[in-house]
Amino acid sequence: MSSLQSLDIALRSATTTPSPEARHQPEVAKLIDVSSCIGCKACQVACMQWNDLRDDIGDNNGTYDNPRNLTPQSWTVMRFSEVQREDSTLEWLIRKDGCMHCADPGCLKSCPAPGAIVKYSNGIVDFISEHCIGCGNCVMGCPFDVPRISKQDNKAYKCSLCSDRVTVGLEPACVKACPTGAIRFGTKEDMHEFAAERLVDLKERGYQNAGVYDPQGVGGTHVMYVLQHADRPEIYHGLPADPHISPLVWLWKGVAKPLAVAAMVGAVFVSFFHYLKVGPLEAKDGLADDERGDGTAHDPAARRTT
């Protein structure tokens, strides 16, 4: 997407000056109630339709996952997990995968291109393709393995949380299309309130470990899940239990980046002032090397070998 909302930008990749933040919108969230999802993929279709994306026809790998994975053209994918309960019965867990819109986005932290990734004050994290240089750093920064690099232009693509719709007061396309109300959209506060009602219902039905997935390791997310088994998020097709930006990314962008530049600029400064203080290293007899002939005026070798 291109940025439609520059006044709303709260964070901007590879930018050391303050962001506009002229507007302060309430934080939004998409709440995905896994317990109400029937796996119909209307959300996938709505995503394709609104964003006008058409993925290549893939192949069947024996599951309902179609396409098999997120792609530059498929920004959301239903993940079907068949899980065996303790009583040996089957539980079919269907999770709508896609960008989680982290409050502390690892992609944005890793991105070297100014303004290629932005976070709006409402919490949406958006890729601004015209500024993307296609380096793939966002892939390394993301704790959820979401960004995908296009084979067409080598730039990164992912769910925009329909930032273009949200900015004009509409809900994301997937939310509009969901026939069971499993996907909801509103302020993050309202979504937490709604999730709390869902949890009461789920616990009454015997899901004692039901909970909301809003992982604090990435500062919370603007896409949240209601999970029947919030104690074991990994069973939902590997949803990370405690996602956080890798410490390696911190070492790279938090330590190496500023220290390296300081060291390089420092080395140039020290060299310059060393020259001014000590002066050039040359023969002390005042003759240029070219004028000295065979060097008899200054003979350290002879001195040292005696």
Residues contributing to the site for another protein (CB under 8 A): 14-16, 112-114, 131, 133-137, 139-140, 145, 149, 151, 154, 246, 248-249, 251-252, 256-261, 263-264, 267-268, 271, 274-275, 278-283, 288-295, 297-301, 304-305
Q: Answer whether 96's CB lies under 8 Å from 78's CB.
A: yes
| Rounded-to-integer distance, Cα 101 and Cα 158, Å | 10
Task: Rank residues 91 and 145 by Cβ distance to another protein and give the closer one.
Answer: 145
Residue 182 three-state SS: coil
| Rounded-to-integer distance, Cα 82 and Cα 79, Å | 10
Task: Rank residues 77 and 191 by Cβ distance to another protein and give the closer one.
Answer: 77
Task: Rank residues 40 and 135 by Cβ distance to another protein and give the closer one.
Answer: 135
| Rounded-to-integer distance, Cα 51 and Cα 159, Å | 10
Task: Rank residues 143 and 220 by Cβ distance to another protein and give the closer one.
Answer: 143
Query: What is the closest distance, in whole angstroms, from the C-beta atom of residue 75 to another protein in the complex?
Result: 18
Query: What is the closest distance, in whole angstroms, from the C-beta atom of residue 99 to another protein in the complex?
Result: 16
Task: Rank residues 179 and 254 by Cβ distance to another protein and give the closer one.
Answer: 254
Query: What is the closest distance, in whole angstroms, from the C-beta atom of residue 303 to another protein in the complex?
Result: 8
Query: What is the closest distance, in whole angstroms, from the C-beta atom of residue 16 to another protein in the complex?
Result: 6
| Rounded-to-integer distance, Cα 211 and Cα 225, Å | 8
Task: Rank residues 85 and 151 by Cβ distance to another protein and give the closer one.
Answer: 151
Identity of the amino acid at 279: G
CA atoms within 13 A on the CB side of 155: 14
How is residue 126 written in tokens? 């958006």
Query: What is the closest distance, in whole angstroms, from the C-beta atom of residue 79 to another protein in the complex?
Result: 18
Query: What is the closest distance, in whole angstroms, from the C-beta atom of residue 157 to another protein in the complex?
Result: 13
Q: In sequence order, what are the beta bridge partners of 184?
A: 31
| Rounded-to-integer distance, Cα 246 and Cα 256, Å | 14
